[in-house]
């Protein structure tokens, strides 16, 4: 039959080759042969590592930014605001806001929970009140209706904002409620149509739940959570009707976004 080189030339000329197993590293395609190069395990791991790099980079950027923000909040906090880490965790934080003067919340100390999401700063932190507060834009679970706490298009959060800005905005909301975008429709109606009753009820809640003297005298078992706090009854039936008419609209605008 001749040498192997002669048999290969005959096969290429007549489009025929003996039925021999091609050498390792070649695959037969018709009457032609082409080299094959299997993907090495190191190459596969390189591809997986490249895909994981953006996530690792994002985590490092988030951690670096949080460290800077925490340092600034602890060394130069905004007036009337305190801030600290909960159990030394950077994504579970606590804050305190002092009630502003000339407001129903004066001399009150309000605790807040700040949970930093994994995609921060591209998503806003989740902030809620732990101390009960009588306010049209803060519900019985402590959730806050504020545009900077929501993503666009319904919200106004931007990555250029930070936790200090959010806490300052919440402090301003306590002093200047927005009754046109409420979470508590009955309180919003009371604020708009019977301001004196609203101020009296808000002061009572502040003295009961947020005053330093009452908080110090309570044991942990006596602490009242935000969900258990009950809203005082309104004095006029007309106010209740107005509040009920607004309830669905107010809650949908803030919580469904």
- Which residue of the set 31, 48, 145, 227 is catalytic? 145
Which residues have C-beta within 8 Å of that of residue 196, sequence separation ≥ 6? none
- Residue 145 a catalytic site member: yes
Query: Taking a C-beta distance cutoff of 8 angstroms, is the pair 134, 201 a contact?
Result: yes
CB 130 within 8 A of CB 112: yes
- Return the active site residues: 145
């Amino acid at each position: 039959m001749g040498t192997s080189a002669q048999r290969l030339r005959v096969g290429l000329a007549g489009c025929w080759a003996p039925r021999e197993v091609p050498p390792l590293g070649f695959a037969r395609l018709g009457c032609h042969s082409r080299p094959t190069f299997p993907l090495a395990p190191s190459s596969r791991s390189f591809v997986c590592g490249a895909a994981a790099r953006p996530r690792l980079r994002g985590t490092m950027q988030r951690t670096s930014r949080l460290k800077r923000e925490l340092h600034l909040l602890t060394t130069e906090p905004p007036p009337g605001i305190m801030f600290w880490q909960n159990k030394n965790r950077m994504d579970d934080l606590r804050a305190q806001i002092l009630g502003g003067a000339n407001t129903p919340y004066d001399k009150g100390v309000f605790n807040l929970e700040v949970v930093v999401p994994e995609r921060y700063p591209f998503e806003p932190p989740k902030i809620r009140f732990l101390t009960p507060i009588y306010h049209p834009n803060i519900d019985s679970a402590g959730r806050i209706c504020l545009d900077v706490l929501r993503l666009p298009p319904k919200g106004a959060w931007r990555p250029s904002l930070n936790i200090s800005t959010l806490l300052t905005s919440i402090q301003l909301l306590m002093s200047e409620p927005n009754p046109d975008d409420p979470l508590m429709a009955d309180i919003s109606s009371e604020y708009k149509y019977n301001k004196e009753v609203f101020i009296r009820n808000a002061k009572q809640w502040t003295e009961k739940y947020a005053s330093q003297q009452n908080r110090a005298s309570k044991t942990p078992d006596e602490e009242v959570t935000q969900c258990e706090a009950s809203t005082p009854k309104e004095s006029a039936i007309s106010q209740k009707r107005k509040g009920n008419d607004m309830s669905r609209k107010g809650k949908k605008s803030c919580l469904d976004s």
